[in-house]
Amino acid sequence: GENVEQHPSTLSVQEGDSAVIKCTYSDSASNYFPWYKQELGKGPQLIIDIRSNVGEKKDQRIAVTLNKTAKHFSLHITETQPEDSAVYFCAASKDTGNQFYFGTGTSLTVIP
């Protein structure tokens, strides 16, 4: 099966700085990579996703990059704000599976 590794497990940044979270995956057949944000007391919510035919995708202050050759993808948050503080999960999936394999999560703290 697929194995997704995520780093770092915790990350603290000053407000306004950038944050980067990295994930690697093992199955070269994976072709869909979502990122989820989980705020305290809530379920995870999709914030951005990327498919394997695209190298980069951006949505306002967040962006995701994908390197299929190296089998890794990253989440970039620019101009961080206190409301970005949350746990972030990456995941990988194959079209045929309908199943996601999640990373272990990164707890991001943005210090005002």
Partner 1 sequence: DVKVTQSSRYLVKRTGEKVFLECVQDMDHENMFWYRQDPGLGLRLIYFSYDVKMKEKGDIPEGYSVSREKKERFSLILESASTNQTSMYLCASSLRLAFKPISSYEQYFGPGTRLTVT
User: In terms of CB distance, is 34 or 80 closer to partner 1?
Assistant: 34
CB of 17 to partner 1, least distance (A): 25
User: In terms of CB distance, is 65 or 107 closer to partner 1?
Assistant: 107
CB of 46 to partner 1, least distance (A): 5
Burial of 43 (0-12, 13-18, 19+ CB in 10 A): exposed
CB of 35 to partner 1, least distance (A): 11
Cα 28 to the center of its chain, rounded Å:
18
DSSP character string of 7-67:
E-SEEEEETTS-EEEEEEES-TT--EEEEEEE-TTS--EEEEEEETT-SEEEETTEEEEEE
User: What H or E segment, with its residue span, contains residue 93?
Assistant: strand 86-93
CB of 24 to partner 1, least distance (A): 14
User: In terms of CB distance, is 7 or 15 closer to partner 1?
Assistant: 7
Interface residue list for partner 1 (CB under 8 A): 1, 6, 9, 32, 34, 36, 41-46, 49, 89, 93, 95-96, 98-100, 102-105
